[in-house]
Structure 1
């Protein structure tokens, strides 16, 4: 998604590599300070976490930035010494940062772990069964623990079209795409980001599942944020989107039904190294009240405040937590 530079420069485009450590220092000492202060609300201070340095990472798109700051404020309210390492470019890079002790906390998605990190090709449609399978596999194979899973949020992939294309081409669902490719090749254009273009649960998998082959000359690779406007303006017919993105509603895009249920469930949860969670099991209790408040509808609103209204994701995250009573503002300030 397109990232705006905030007034605090919070959007650090951190380029980690899969094979090297580019951060100064290592482990819990990496990262910058949390951008905003909070006081305890319903998330109370936890004696076992007082003064413990924990580095929170996030991937480099809006929802992840908002979630990352929510995690930082939650841990700060609990008394931890939180370090900010947000906006890591690429899912695999963020995961590597977690495994290699460069970050300690990362909100992640069950479908991403199942397909992209662990190499499975068949998703598990049931959300709880998908989570249990991911939790077991990640723990045994990678030493990664999942906690505070949220079944209320499923930010899965989807394709969207603008309303004109929906009416003109009669597309309602993904199984309509082969007809468009065959009968209207001039309209069979796709806008996707680089990661989706190559993921097993991205365009290659959609082509295989739904039985079509996109003309590569009509597949445009754009930044995630550019795809929404390109789809709305008709630059491409089919745009890859996230179902919790606020720009879908703002731009009046139509989501196409995944009638074969190809895309995995992408429920969010806190991931950390198993040894760290064993040392500090209180991390789970810090995030459980956050997960209880998050829903798809809430995330759509939060994402829209950043991508549509132009607000800073740290402000959006903190104000939401204050409204939910999870944290308070220092000095009794009011949230916007």
Structure 2
């Protein structure tokens, strides 16, 4: 699927990426106007953004592109002229575009902001408390955060429904109990970095009192994990992202993180503060959209792109129309 993540980036990694973005620019040398013929539905009535010229951006993986397209289409329906500069490489380039005012809006993830941009090492367990902490801290960077969605693109372990008919696992605590009872039953497929970091598999094992023998851990590329868990007996469990469209497409069960080990990565609109001060109606436009964005909705939308091969822009528009937020023509 080609997702680009910075979740594992420490301070050094973040600074390195920042240096690239500063020396090479934010990637905003080009962009295209959104020419869609859209009009207000349940939001944007009265066209409160008439006369505004706004730029939307995103990172370069499917989900974030879809969310960036949604923001742009909503602004377009509300009367704005919108430049589409989504699909930027990595997180730092899109982030810097918002901070500098080269772009006006994007959807960002609270965990990414809290850990990668704001330099904190420990996530906040309560999703709303983490969002509030991010919102309050990012004011100094000239960034405004609107209320978050319940869409939580975090890490998890998954098992095929076929295998789970036998084991009936629901939580990571269930996995820990199975590993203790029958160590030979548990095999895990993960990415290389996830296998070695304290905020990955080793930390998860510690948090749950779980012990998976090294011989039962396989390391592989993220895209292969889903297929191996779905079709292979060698991977009972696999590392997944909770909003990935392949979870449903490949008939997987996601196990609940019942001890809240993994950080929350809730998607929320991140705006250039000066733009928001000029156009405060942006909140009334995006808040209803965010309220409808759940993890399950994201799985479905991501599957339309990553499984069915559809264009993120078309998927975003289709969903906004389905929900009645905007109308075509």
1:111 aligned residue = 111
Residues 4-27 of structure 1, C-alpha deviations (whole Å, 9 max, x = no match): xxxxxxxxxxxx952245899879
* Residues in 1 aligned to 2:188 and 2:42: alpha-carbon distance in whole angstroms: 49
The corresponding residue for 1:321 is 320
State the match for 1:259 in structure 2.
Answer: 258
Counterpart pick for 1:153 among 151, 154, 179: 151
- For residues 50-65 of structure 1, the aligned pairs below 5 Å read 50-65=50-65
Report the Cα offset of residue 96 of structure 1.
3.2
- 1:230-276 deviations in whole A, cap 9, x for unaligned? 32123644322222333212211121221211123332210022233
Q: Which is worse superposed, 152-161 or 128-137?
A: 152-161
Normalization by structure 1: what TM-score?
0.77
Q: Which moved more, 1:210-219 or 1:293-302?
A: 210-219
CA contact (8 A) 1:191 1:230 kept: no
Aligned 8 A contact 1:27 1:103 in 2: no
Find the counterpart in structure 2 of residue 79 from structure 1: 79
**Selected match of 1:229 from 227, 230, 233:** 227
Deviation of 1:48 (Å) = 6.3
Q: What is aligned with 2:137?
A: 137
What does 1:288-327 correspond to in 2, within 5 Å? 288-327=287-326
Moved more, 303-312 or 213-222: 213-222
**Cα displacement (A) at 1:137:** 1.6
* Secondary structure, counterpart of 1:107 in structure 2: strand
CA contact (8 A) 1:115 1:201 kept: no
Instruction: Flag the 1:328–1:252 CA change in 2: closer, same or farther, 3 A.
Output: same
1:286, CA displacement in angstroms?
1.9
In 2: Cα distance, 1:93 partner to 1:29 partner: 12
Question: Which moves more between the two structures, 49-58 or 19-28?
Answer: 19-28
Deviation for aligned residue 1:187: 5.5
Superposition pairs of residues 93-108 of structure 1, within 5 angstroms: 93-108=93-108
- Secondary structure in 2 aligned to 1:149? coil
Q: Kindly state the Cα deviation for residue 76 of structure 1 after the two structures are TM-superposed.
A: 0.9
Whole-angstrom distance in 2 between the partners of 1:200 and 1:171 = 24
Identify if the C-alpha distance between structure 1 residues 240 and 84 changes in structure 2 by more than 3 Å, giving closer, same or farther: farther
TM-score with structure 2 setting the length = 0.78
Unmatched 5+ stretches in structure 1:
4-15, 331-336
Question: Aligned with 2:87: secondary structure?
Answer: strand
Aligned residue for 1:19, secondary structure, equals: helix
Query: Is the 8 Å Cα contact of residues 66 and 312 (structure 2) preserved in structure 1?
Result: yes
- Judge conservation of contact 1:181–1:214 (CA < 8 Å) in 2: no
**In the aligned structure 1, how far is the partner of 2:93 from the partner of 2:198?**
17
Q: Aligned in 2, Cα 1:160/1:81: closer, same or farther, shift over 3 Å? A: same
Secondary structure of residue in 2 paired with 1:49: coil
2-structure distance, mates of 1:264, 1:270: 18
- Check conservation: 2:178, 2:186, Cα contact below 8 A: no
Residue 18 of structure 1 aligns to a residue in which SS?
helix
Maintained 8 Å contact 1:181/1:188 = no
| CA–CA separation in structure 2 for the residues paired with 1:121 and 1:24 | 28
Structure 1 segments, 4+ long, off by >6 Å, are: 22-29, 45-48, 197-200
Instruction: Give distance in 2, aligned partners of 1:112 and 1:186.
Output: 34
Aligned equivalents of 2:205 and 2:60: distance in 1? 26
